[in-house]
Amino acid sequence: MATGQHNFPPMHPVAGFKLGTTSAGIKTLGRSDVVIMEIAHGSSVAALFTQNAFCAAPVTLCKKHLDQHVPRYLVTNTGNANAGTGAQGIQNALRTCREMALLADVDVSSVLPFSTGVIGEPLPIDTLVAGLPSAFNDLSETGWFDAAQGILTTDTRAKGSSLQYGQDRPITITGIAKGSGMIKPNMATMLAYIATDAKIDNELLHRALRLACDKSFNRITVDSDTSTNDSVVLVATGASGVVIDEDTFESFVGHLTDIFIQLAQAIIRDGEGASKFVSVAIEGALDESEALQVAYTIAESPLVKTALSASDPNWGRILAAIGRAGIDNLDVDQVQILLNDVLIADQGARAPSYTEADGQRAMQPEDITITVRLNRGNHSATVWTTDLTYDYVRINAEYRT
């Protein structure tokens, strides 16, 4: 299951950024599973990775290589996460980089490896390496859709977003992402690759990446399980010749964040077993971290999520989640809860105006917004999540076996 329309948007190519995809045979025969991305010489590159202590071998190697070299090639395989694989995992990730470097005649440390799939099984490195030439030959600036498909695992849809802004000399921003389960990114997401032809130095690009991530990939949860492999890479080729400086930075980050939010929401719409797309909006908090604390407690409550799957306006479970969120000195009599635009709870109890019929009606749409007004400050935050369905259990009971 998934929510919303499946519209893979038109993707504006980004000059200086090419993508090539192949089916190497790591996953089911015929499904694409290896993607190479080529970054033009002179680009800036910023990346963020999972905070999971058991980070995957490719994540470890990415961090090391980023310290040594501006990346020229990104190599992604699906079907195997190369996580929980110890020293052999590092060797396999390094061999991926070596073979890619040989093929493209670049330095080993200018290759970044990425893996996604099952955790704890050895990477079929020979199969992967055998697929590299075919993906390399496929490199093209119009390869976005194929690449978006090539990085999927339990996802049911390719996820992409693209925009251009600016009058005379427009800037292009285009990106793809994958992710469906084990989704609660922590400073990054499952896998996302975004490229722009803006010219922007490394330090500004890193700032832009952090700002955009904090409002997008760091605001989603399917199942509260932070992955071992989360990675997001932002490439600025500079091919448009338009320079981003302190003056134009805010506008750039705004557009970048739009793309990031669309990709993050696409992950939630394709969340494992999802039948609802749920926005949890907290208002009137003392600070943003408090708002997020309440939002995530609601968004990750199995009882709230199962009620959502049944379109049941069981707001008592939302109230119970707020109550256990660990907020100091919460005055429960000030709390208001809305389902879409229906006020259901006021002053810590059922709103006098509320009727069960109104609640039922509010729960029918596929897109639901749960708004909680704490009424104790001026900060707010929104988190996006899914419901918890039979299908989530089925997918995760069956996956791997």
- The DSSP call for residue 84 is S
Based on CB atoms, which residue is closest to a copy of itself, 132 or 182? 182
Based on CB atoms, which residue is closest to a copy of itself, 78 or 162? 78
Q: How far is the CB of 107 from a copy of itself (least distance, A)?
A: 28
- The DSSP call for residue 219 is G
Q: How far is the CB of 193 from a copy of itself (least distance, A)?
A: 22
- The DSSP call for residue 281 is E
Question: Whose CA is closest to 36, among 17, 55, 11, 53?
Answer: 17
The strand pairing partners of 34, in sequence order, are 22, 77
Cα–chain-centroid distance for residue 78? 16
Based on CB atoms, which residue is closest to a copy of itself, 119 or 212? 119
Of the candidate residues 25, 69, 70, 225, the single one contacting a copy of itself (CB under 8 A) = 225
Q: How far is the CB of 249 from a copy of itself (least distance, A)?
A: 32
β pairing state of 191-196 and 231-236: parallel
Of the candidate residues 84, 124, 133, 166, the single one contacting a copy of itself (CB under 8 A) = 84
Q: How far apart are the first and last CA of the chain?
A: 20
Question: Which stretch, 61-69, 82-90, 255-263, 277-285, contacts a copy of itself (CB under 8 A)?
Answer: 82-90
Binding to a copy of itself (CB under 8 A): which residues in 350-369? 350
CA distance 338 to 352: 13
Under rule CB under 8 A, residue 33 binds a copy of itself: no
Under rule CB under 8 A, residue 82 binds a copy of itself: no
Under rule CB under 8 A, residue 181 binds a copy of itself: yes
* N residues, the chain: 401
Based on CB atoms, which residue is closest to a copy of itself, 73 or 217? 217
Question: Which stretch, 3-11, 140-148, 150-158, 223-231, contacts a copy of itself (CB under 8 A)?
Answer: 223-231
Q: In Å, what is the CA distance from 237 to each residue of 16, 17, 35, 72, 255?
A: 6, 7, 19, 11, 17
